[in-house]
């Protein structure tokens, strides 16, 4: 198992903006930031076989939350069901892994993902080779 940790608020996928002049990727800088962090923690060649991955998104607790609700959120009593949605978070991470750790995101045969509340927002990627 390889564990990759990326500090900061988890970023969802956003479709490129298309105009008459061409396409513009709204998440280009964030995607490069994630790829840089993955490269710094990935010390192997690009994997060309099937993979199993697990994504865990540690989402921040809203500032106006009471102490009681904060404690419930930290132990998992209250689940994170707000935006961003899980599919868009997964798509962004799969795109960030592509070309850095894996050849193509079609190599992923099993994926589990979850959003949890935490005091420090981050993204954890577990790759099972």
Q: Assign residue 102 the CATH number of its domain.
A: 3.30.1330.70
Concatenate the DSSP letters of all residues of 70-120 into one string: HHHHHHTSS---SSSPHHHHHHHHHHHHBTTTBS-GGGEEEEEEEEEEESS
Pick the range with the lowest mean pLDDT from 10-14, 44-48, 109-113, 125-129: 44-48
Q: How many domains does the chain have?
A: 1
What is the structure's pLDDT at 20?
81
**Which residue range(s) make up the domain with 18?**
2-128
Regarding predicted confidence, which is higher, 44 or 125?
A: 125
pLDDT at residue 32, as a whole number: 93
Over residues 58-95, the pLDDT tens digits come to 999 999 999 999 999 999 999 999 999 999 999 999 99
Q: What is the pLDDT of residue 43?
A: 85
Record the pTM: 0.90
pLDDT for the residue numbered 92? 95
Residues 59, 47: Cα–Cα separation, whole Å: 29
């Amino acid at each position: 198992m390889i564990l990759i940790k990326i500090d900061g608020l988890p970023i969802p996928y956003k479709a490129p903006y298309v105009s008459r002049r061409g396409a513009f990727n709204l998440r280009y800088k964030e995607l490069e930031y994630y790829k840089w962090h993955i490269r710094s923690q990935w010390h192997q060649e690009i994997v060309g076989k099937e993979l199993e991955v697990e994504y865990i998104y540690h989402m921040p607790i809203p500032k106006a939350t009471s102490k009681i609700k904060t404690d419930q959120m930290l132990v998992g009593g209250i689940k994170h069901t707000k935006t961003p949605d899980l599919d868009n978070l997964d798509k962004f991470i799969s795109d960030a892994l592509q070309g850095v750790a894996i050849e193509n995101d079609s190599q992923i045969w099993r994926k589990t993902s979850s959003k949890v509340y935490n005091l420090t927002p981050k993204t954890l990627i577990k790759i099972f080779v």
